[in-house]
Chains A and B, each alone.
Chain A
Amino acid sequence: GAGVSQTPSNKVTEKGKYVELRCDPISGHTALYWYRQSLGQGPEFLIYFQGTGAADDSGLPNDRFFAVRPEGSVSTLKIQRTERGDSAVYLCASSLKVPSGRDEQFFGPGTRLTVL
């Protein structure tokens, strides 16, 4: 079946612009996660949704970052007034049910964001 998809695959923007990154999770997966991966580093947690609500947004670096999941499926990560330091690969993952220590997260291919 279809995996997690993310669009666009690449996004180049200018400093100060607004960007939206989209994630389509696997159908039926109630849990959705956003991570950010800088060059040479492992992914870092940003936010976790269970259904429509953000259960934990403690990883969002500042108030320029915001994410929504209005219908409990597709999610959009929004970045306002982009800065060069926001350049990274943004990864989305989903999992089937309420997470536990045993569940498997399925990752999308990521969106590579470059801020000039």
Chain B
Amino acid sequence: DAKTTQPNSMESNEEEPVHLPCNHSTISGTDYIHWYRQLPSQGPEYVIHGLTSNVNNRMASLAIAEDRKSSTLILHRATLRDAAVYYCILRDGGSNYKLTFGKGTLLTVNP
């Protein structure tokens, strides 16, 4: 898997939007961009993924740069429950099955 770079930590206030950045300058044309998050004392959970176009789901939005070398996970209104480690992961569109996690971004949400 190609490497991703994320800030170690970020802080937000409750009910404000959060933009979590991820750089992946060596992304290949067949790599999907995945985001998972891990709440304290839980296993990771899927958040969203995309290839080229921006994506929205009930949890978040994913904005992908036109050159695909970076992406941003957007939480529209942070809640205390969104405090977690967020992982940005690239997965090849072929038979790549394993997730290669980095250290992720620790998001703190202040009440």
Contact = CB atoms under 8 A, between A and B. Distances in A.
Interface in B35-83: 41-46, 49, 51
Given A101-B31, A102-B49, A107-B44, A55 B97 contact: yes
Nearest to A47: B98
Interface string A96-113: 001111101111111000
Contact of A100 (B41, B42, B45, B95): B95
A56 interface: yes
Contacts of B96: 99-101
Interface in B84-111: 85, 87, 91-104
B94 A101 contact: yes
Contact of A48 (B32, B87, B92, B98): B98
A31 B98 CA distance: 11
B25 interface: no
Interface size class of chain A, counting residues whose CB lies under 8 Å from the partner chain: 20 to 34
- Tell me the interface secondary structure of chain B in the complex: loop
B30 interface: yes
Interface of A: 4, 31, 33, 35, 40-45, 48, 55-56, 59, 91, 93, 98-102, 104-110
9 contacts: A4-B43, A33-B97, A42-B85, A55-B97, A91-B44, A93-B44, A101-B96, A105-B44, A105-B46
